[in-house]
Structure 1
Amino acid sequence: MKRGARRILVTGASSGIGRALALRYAQEGRSLALFGRDAARLEAVAADCRAKGAEADVSIADVRDRAAMAERIAAADAREPLDLVIANAGVSTGLSRGQIAEDPEAVRGTLSINVLGVFNTVEPAIEAMTARRRGQIAVVGSMAGLRGLPYSPAYCASKAAVHLYADSLRGALAPHGVHVSLIVPGFVATPMTDKLKAWQAGKVSDEKAAEIIMRGLDRRAAVIAFPLFVYYAMKLFTMLPPRTVDSVMRLVEVSVPQTHEREKP
């Protein structure tokens, strides 16, 4: 087995980046704890991982359920100590052309999964890893967390929140032997982006995204952002006059489907 984490937990492992990461990490000598809500899809991913030589156990869990997540993560850690926890589960929501405000229920559903879901994943891992004084936590953010976009206010807010959370944890946990990485992907070919009507600059496959992420996590990078030209462009936007950037962004035709998720699981 290559160097790196042996026991890895991934939330949102039944599709998209989570699935691609599970398959990328799957190899003999590794043990995967796969978390998701769709039992059939999750079992299929686990079967594919086992076929590649990895051990894989599944947990049907909703990241919004704090008590259930704490219980299941503790059980996964008890089965074998977790080396790497990837808080990946997330949803998107936004505005269609001509729509002015987001549905308050969709907004709260997005924040509940994207923000509280990350907290519910990371907090139990902190307790276990700091007690052992070793481990790694990865939080999946987004380019949308770098600068507000007029067509997806709640999603941008949710990702900005977890960006700062990861940045804060990195400094707080380093003295306790726990490394924290923030993953900042651009457009990745997943079921989520398939529904997005927009120009998707620099879009990569989920397999390529998983390769980049794994490489960054192996070297314990503080930030894993890709593609870099989009990352630096978004950084530049934050330094330009806000109203100018807003005006330019409004010229781009984008339609983001509203999530069906709600605040409570």
Structure 2
Amino acid sequence: MTRIVITGATGAIGQALAAVYARPGNQLVLHGRQRDVLDALAASCRTAGAEVELSHVELGQTRLDDDSALLTWLESLCTPAVPDIVIVNAGINIDIGEDGRGEAWEAASRLLEINLRVPMAMGNFLGKRMRAAGHGQLVLMSSLAAYHGLPVTPSYSASKAGVKAYGEALRGWLAPHGVGVSVVMPGYVSSKMCHEMPGPKPFLWQPERAARFIAKGVERNRARISFPFPLNFGCWWLAVLPAAISQRLLTLFGYDHDQGDGAHR
């Protein structure tokens, strides 16, 4: 029995990933905040032959010094054995607003909690236990925005850059002990969060296509699972070119400060 954990399972990519892994011989642990969506997803996955557990645990802290709910849940995931695959997919997005006034700090703090601190906490906790067990795979959801920050979504870009760096470092630490780590860097994938995100949406993929691509990369333990190729190649160049040129290009492509309005995965 292969045990697969997916956080953010009620989002577009999360649901599509659950559908890809929903087959006999797999046990899915699906985490999400939208209970009705999660219940319907669980029923669909069970029909496809998978065993399913559900979780609604609050991933973020209720107080700055309290990780108890998250750590208790992570401990339960390792009983009686560590999961085979953990896909850390939960995330949110905000932007600078329609008038370009800037992000609310309270919203930015919440975003950094969910998008960066929680993946790091999960990687820290589960990485140690997978290392001791000598197997397992962590899959961390970054973004092509990690290559060079987008002017309209600075906090989101920062969080995804942090996930990319952290995942790459974890891979180097854990690989000698039989543990895989893959960093997923999607471009635009059709979802509520994507369509409410400011700026153009070139090379838009449907979530089902993205999930199949991600699953193939996970199966091969690829270090970086980035797509689609044209956008990935362009964003890579934004990281390589001098920052002034990259920022000028982003303005020309329509990612300027006049775009706006926030969204969630």
Aligned residue type for 2:18: A
The separation in 1 between residues aligned to 2:53 and 2:179, in whole angstroms, is 24
Residues 82-112 of structure 1: CA deviation (Å, up to 9, x unaligned) = 1000111001111234313211111111111
Deviation, structure 1 residue 79: 5.3
The count of aligned residue pairs is: 257
Aligned residue type for 1:42: L
For the aligned residues, what is the CA RMSD? 1.9
Match of 1:94?
Answer: 95
Match of 1:136?
Answer: 137
- Match for residue 63 of structure 1 among 46, 51, 59: 59
Match of 2:17?
Answer: 21
Match of 1:51?
Answer: 47
The separation in 2 between residues aligned to 1:39 and 1:77, in whole angstroms, is 24
The separation in 2 between residues aligned to 1:201 and 1:10, in whole angstroms, is 27
Deviates more, 1:183-192 or 1:71-80: 71-80
Deviates more, 1:44-53 or 1:205-214: 44-53
1:160-179 paired onto structure 2 within 5 Å: 160-179=161-180
* Structure-2-length-normalised TM-score: 0.91
Residues 15-66 of structure 1: CA deviation (Å, up to 9, x unaligned) = 2111110111000110001111222221211111101000000011122133
1:168-207 paired onto structure 2 within 5 Å: 168-207=169-208
Aligned-residue sequence identity (percent) comes to 33
Deviation, structure 1 residue 240: 2.1
Aligned residue type for 2:44: D
Match of 2:261?
Answer: 257
Provide closer, same or farther for how the CA distance between residues 119 and 141 of structure 1 changes in structure 2, counting only shifts above 3 A. Answer: same
* Structure-1-length-normalised TM-score: 0.91
Provide closer, same or farther for how the CA distance between residues 239 and 126 of structure 1 changes in structure 2, counting only shifts above 3 A. Answer: closer
Q: Which runs of 5+ in 1 are unaligned?
A: none
Match of 1:114?
Answer: 115
The separation in 1 between residues aligned to 2:193 and 2:247, in whole angstroms, is 24
2:100 touches 2:260 (CA, 8 Å); kept in 1?
Answer: no
Deviates more, 1:36-45 or 1:140-149: 36-45
Deviation, structure 1 residue 256: 4.0
Q: Which runs of 5+ in 2 are unaligned?
A: 62-66
The separation in 1 between residues aligned to 2:263 and 2:172, in whole angstroms, is 33
Deviation, structure 1 residue 113: 0.6
1:36 is the counterpart of 2:32: yes
1:106 touches 1:259 (CA, 8 Å); kept in 2?
Answer: no
